[in-house]
């Protein structure tokens, strides 16, 4: 069962999350959960989950989490820095990312994201810094 706020339901989700098959399952100010398939869209040429796909999943989770916290009429949260440690190969199936805030400030946020396989084994751990900036024009 998904737990999504009304404002998210109104977002026209497009671009990379759609291309990679990322699905947001839970979204609040304190936790974001999303899944992504490990398939032809997200594997690298040697048949395992592409590190860039994991990073895209992590930043998607952090972006929506940061957006949940801010005044969405006045501000936008954008990725400022991200790192990732790829710990275990994943050949197929689905990965699940869980993000939680480490720091929520006025102009920046830091989110920690764990990406796990179906057995709960850690595939990747990431930290993403989000800048909170005023909307333009």
Active site (catalytic) residues: 59
d(CA 104, CA 106): 7
Through-space distance between the first and last CA atoms of the chain, rounded to whole angstroms: 37
| DSSP classification of residue 41 | T
**Residue 83: closest CA among 118, 104, 58:** 58
**Sign of the alpha-carbon dihedral angle for 87, 56, 44, 120:** positive
Q: What is the longest distance spanned by two Cα atoms in the chain?
A: 46
Calpha distance 63→70 (Å, rounded): 11
């Amino acid at each position: 069962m998904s737990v999504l706020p009304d404002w998210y339901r109104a977002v026209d989700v497009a671009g990379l999350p759609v291309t990679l098959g990322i699905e947001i399952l839970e979204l609040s100010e304190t936790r974001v959960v999303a899944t992504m398939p490990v398939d032809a869209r997200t594997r690298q040429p040697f048949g395992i989950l592409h590190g860039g796909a994991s990073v895209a999943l992590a930043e998607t989770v952090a972006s929506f989490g940061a957006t949940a916290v801010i005044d969405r009429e006045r501000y936008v949260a954008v990725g400022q820095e991200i790192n990732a440690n790829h710990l275990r190969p994943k050949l197929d199936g689905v990965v699940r990312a869980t993000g939680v805030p480490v720091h929520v400030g006025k102009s920046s946020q830091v989110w920690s994201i764990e990406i796990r396989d179906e057995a709960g084994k850690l595939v990747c751990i990431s930290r993403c810094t989000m800048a909170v900036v005023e909307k333009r024009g």
